[in-house]
Amino acid sequence: MLLLAESSPRPRARITGVVYLLYFLTAVLAQFFVSRKQVGYGDAVNGIAFALYIVLTLLFYSMFKSVNRLLSLIAAFFSLAGCAVGLLGLFPRTSLPINPLWFFGPYCLLIGTLILRSTFLPQLIGWLMVLAGLGWLAFLWPPVARHLSLPIEVIGIVAEASLMMWLLVMGVNVERWNEQASTVCEG
């Protein structure tokens, strides 16, 4: 991890994109298994997906602490709490009345806000992440979620896939990232 911290921001952003892609692929594979009534395999793959999302959370914290360290830390807390709730939900004897989306909604909102405050990623992706976060929060009110479930899921997938693809293909604007990181170090 020390080598990753010392590397240039563009390769780190691309590594973040790769971890994001691996998360997406494992989450889709887990849903495939669950839909085929192979719940054991689905749970095992979901465990891997949550582990990847924990790594992704730490990578995002590192990326966005140059924007706002406290906001990035709070976002990481929400994501890690959502991962913990999701992981506990994989165990049959653990029945939690908490939906992990209650944590991932604020997480997406905060990541969107950090992107909007950043100078090294496109603002459009920030707005998409904010919309995704608001959508996930709609699950706090079941009547709304019931009627808007599909559009909420589409917005969430489009937002997160856009961020993932941008990180994979473009990385971050290194000059702007360095400028923003240097102002945090100086401040």
**Cα 100 from chain centroid?**
12
Show pLDDT as tens, one digit a residue, over the chain (187 residues).
444 445 688 889 999 999 999 999 999 999 999 889 998 999 999 999 999 999 999 999 999 999 999 999 999 999 999 999 999 988 877 677 888 888 999 999 999 999 999 999 999 999 999 999 998 888 778 777 777 878 888 998 999 999 999 999 999 989 888 888 887 654 4
Region of residue 99 (left: phi > 0; alpha: psi -120 to 50; beta: else): beta
Cα distance between residue 159 and residue 182, in whole Å: 28
- Phi, psi angle pair for 135, to nearest 5°: -60, -45
Give, in order, the Cα–Cα distances in Å from 184 to each of 53, 110, 133, 158. 26, 18, 26, 31
Mean pLDDT, the chain, rounded, equals 89
Cα distance between residue 184 and residue 12, in whole Å: 19
Q: Is pTM beyond 0.85 here?
A: yes
For residue 35, give both structure tokens.
């839909």
